[in-house]
Amino acid sequence: MTRLPGYAAPTGQWFHSGNGQRWWFDSGSLALDFAYTGGMGEPGRWEQMRDASDLGDWLAQRYTDVGEAAERDLADALSLRGAIARLAQAASDGAQAQADDIDTVNLFAATPDIPPAIDGGRRQAGRSRVRVGQALSTIARDAVNLLAHTGERRIRECDADDCQLVFYDESRTNNRRWCSMQRCGNRAKVKAFRAKEKA
Ligand SMILES: [Zn+2]
């Protein structure tokens, strides 16, 4: 399988709401997707990392050849995730980033990441499995890439009044409005339609 660097790999994941429904949220960044495995801003609501195997499963959906996750990897992952979540929230709010969080992300980003690889060579890319630590480094490096855009206001909250989801706007025109068209985008359309009918 061809492996793309973190900033170029496909993003997005399913969110489960309390009533058994699920919807697709593409945060626009690997690092933000990762932050949302713990319900940024709403701790516990979307917690997907209850044990080390949850971490392994999440990574396996993105990188097929990641080795098994240990308890220690989970602790590392949660510490990195918390730092990314707070930095992204601060960027979205236009607030000051905490130096400790910056240090945490930089620390993980400084370790070896998952090397990108092209299919079709003689040596099989999947033969040597990458360590969870390398995957965390890839996520941290993606966070560095993400937060480099803070000045462009590309890290923003969804436009819906009752939705605080934060995304990274990858669009050329920087005019993304909704966390998801399926969810808040359609709700806003329906609301506008009803208001028009009433008038
Ligand atoms: Zn929304």
3-state secondary structure of 67: coil
> How far does the centroid of ligand 1 lie from the alpha carbon of residue 164, in Å?
7
pLDDT in tens, 26-53: 999 999 999 999 868 766 677 889 999 9
Tokens for 105, please give them.
């992300």
Contact 139, 158 (CB under 8 A): no
Q: Provide the CB-side half-sphere exposure for 171 (13 A, CA).
A: 11
CA 167 to ligand 1 center in whole angstroms: 10
Residues that place a CB less than 5 A from ion ligand 1: 158, 160, 163, 165, 179, 184
Tell me the average pLDDT across 14-33. 86
Distance 181 CA to ligand 1 centre (A): 8
Q: How close is the Cα of 38 to the center of ligand 1, in Å?
A: 17
- Torsion of the alpha carbons at 159, 160, 162 and 168, rounded to the nearest 10: -40
> Alpha-carbon torsion 138, 100, 43, 190, what sign?
negative
85-132 pLDDT, tens digit per residue, is 999 999 999 999 999 999 999 999 999 999 888 888 887 655 578 899
Task: Please list, in sequence order, all residues whose beta carbon lies within 8 angstroms of the beta carbon of residue 49, skipping any fewer than 6 positions away.
Answer: 37, 38, 55, 58, 74, 77, 78, 81
**CA of 34 relative to ligand 1 center, distance in Å:** 18
Query: Which pLDDT score is estimated for 107?
Result: 98
Distance 130 CA to ligand 1 centre (A): 35
The pTM (predicted TM-score) of the whole model is: 0.90
CB 152 within 8 A of CB 174: yes
Q: How many CA atoms lie within 13 A of 32 on its CB side?
A: 28
One-letter amino acid for residue 174 of the chain = N
Whole-number pLDDT of residue 189: 87
Q: Which residue has the higher pLDDT, 193 or 128?
A: 193
Q: How far is the CA of 74 from the centre of ligand 1 (A)?
A: 29
The domains found in the chain, sorted by start residue, are 6-198 (1.10.3300.10)
